[in-house]
Amino acid sequence: MVSSTKGQNSGGVLSNVSFLNNNQPYLGNKMFEDNQGLSFYIVRDDLLHPFVNGNKARKLDGLLPLIEDHDVTDVVTCGGCQSAHAAAVAVSCAERGLKSHLLLRGEQPAILTGYNLISTIYGNVTYVPRSFYAHREKMLETHASMVAGSSGNVVYCNDIIDAFITAQTFERSKFVQMDAPRGTKSHSTKVLVVNEGAGDAVALLGLFRLVDYLSQDHLLGRTRAFNFVVDSGTGTTAVGLGLAALCLGLPWKVTAVMLANTIDAYREQERRLIFEFKRQFCFLLDIHKLNGADDGIVHWVDHIRPRKFGNILEGEIEACQQIAQKTGILVDPVYTLAAWEMATQITTAHGDADVVMLHTGGTLGMFGLAQRYKSYFGMLNDVTKS
């Protein structure tokens, strides 16, 4: 719930508004019966798993069963030093008895913390010079070949999806996790390469599962026109939400806050993912429902306070603190604060906008930011005392 404070709060980018978390919101038919005031919903995907949460969990949701079905023994992926994606892959692989090999950009930090620490504990981390990391495809291919050795083989996400479809085994697996005993698998090394951020079409399947779940009558239903707000790094999550809503015939809009690229780059990513999804998974869907997808399914918007990706600005740490203290919800200044600010702006400008913010997780990244922005985080005690 959002209310105006008319400057009562001390500083911060949300200084003119205050928040109150309603843990028992009206859902289903009750949404039509009572006015809940100025407010927006939050889908708490940050609570899915201690380390594998938010959109990282959703993007791996459709891939992990395929990895198990296809006897993969090792997974190679990459990301930044504090990559939530890399940590999610490491933990997910360890839970399934697989080995993960994580190529992290830059140098090893003096103190391991946040997602970097989780990646190191659960996976096999290699730090890669930035000049080498700039050529990601070659870097991943080279490292995967080294892991596979002379007797193993390297596969990509598209390879196992195409093999899966060709074998016509989709009805058996249905993209739900299976408990096939590892002892019955082949002992040869099979290395899967997963792109940075898991930004492939298979990642969209997890968003389909989420949208299908939320559209149940006792939750958001299928008739009300919600505006989903999400922060966008690669843009995969936003495209998945939009494509799922279109395919399921829902009157939902997706507003994506661009954090890491230009609008042209995001639109190209949108076109690429939709094309790949049509090619690989058209047998799952009524293809006619995708006719409007080529015209764009995501409303891409600029960050309220634009900056170079990864940077945080003065007042944003205090804004995260304000939200945490008022609602018990932790957001981070790089990703989820951007979505929170946009959800707040739309809600205050259009009181009946029916806004839903998808919390994409990533809050362990705060530990890495605290090392990088010591002066900003050091001011928190002063704000609390005042």
3, 4, 10, 83: the active-site residue = 83
Largest interatomic CA distance in the chain: 68
| φ, ψ of residue 47 in degrees (nearest 5) | -100, 10
Return d(Cα 186, Cα 152) in angstroms, integer.
11
Q: Which residues, listed in sequence order, are joined to residue 193 by a DSSP beta bridge?
A: 76, 156
Return d(Cα 51, Cα 84) in angstroms, integer.
8
Q: Which residues, listed in sequence order, are joined to residue 301 by a DSSP beta bridge?
A: 257
The helix/strand/coil state of 376 is helix
Closest CA to 158 of 197, 189, 185, 192: 192
Closest CA to 255 of 227, 218, 288: 227
Estimate the crossing angle of helix 263-281 against helix 157-166, to 10 degrees: 30
Q: Count the Cβ atoms, other than its own, within 10 Å of residue 158.
A: 14
CA atoms within 13 A on the CB side of 60: 27
- 83 flagged as catalytic: yes
Neighbour-count burial of 254, counting CB atoms closer than 10 A to its CB (0-12 exposed, 13-18 middle, 19+ buried): buried
Residue 137 tokens, joined: 């495809």
Q: Which amino acids are annotated catalytic?
A: 83
